[in-house]
Amino acid sequence: MAIKRNAAIDTAEPTAELVLPAKSTFHGDFTTNSNARIEGTVDGNIIAENGNILLGEQARVIGNIKGVDVAVAGSVKGDLDLTGQLSIYSGAEVVGNVKATAIIVENNAVFDGHVTIMSAANSRAAIPEKLQEVTQEAS
């Protein structure tokens, strides 16, 4: 099954070095420095610090995910910590908190959690300073 919706994820799909096929189950945590495509079940954390992660329609992840861009067509129960974008496709389900630079939730997708949108240019530490500047300007 091909999922073609996000250019960042689409470019990762053909070059995914880590592939978990449908009807396969992985128990435990794994780390990769490349792109990953999950079609089966993962009971553990996924860390792809420099890679994109594509979760197909049959994919089920119970654990936290860390990566660049993540596209979900299946289900995730865990927190997502991304340096890029999260895309939740129609029919997908994400239950957990998300930290990303952007989030796209299609119609008929389920999202239950909190979202923190991070700027690629600014760190979280700079946000209180900017808030203080805006408050002082408004006074």
Any domain includes 2: no
Any domain includes 93: yes
Bridge partners of 37? 19, 54
Element (H, E) at 115: strand 115-117
The structural domain count of the chain equals 1
Any domain includes 91: yes
Nearest to 73 by CA among 48, 52, 90: 90
Any domain includes 74: yes
Give me the domain span that covers residue 85. Answer: 7-138
- Written as tens digits, the pLDDT of the chain (139 aa) is 344 454 444 434 446 778 899 999 999 998 988 899 999 999 999 999 889 999 999 999 999 999 999 999 999 999 999 999 999 999 999 999 999 999 999 999 999 999 999 987 643 444 455 444 544 555 5
∠ CA(52), CA(120), CA(2), 5° rounding? 25
Any domain includes 127: yes
101 CA to centre of own chain:
10
Any domain includes 65: yes
Any domain includes 1: no
28 touches 48 (CB < 8 A):
no
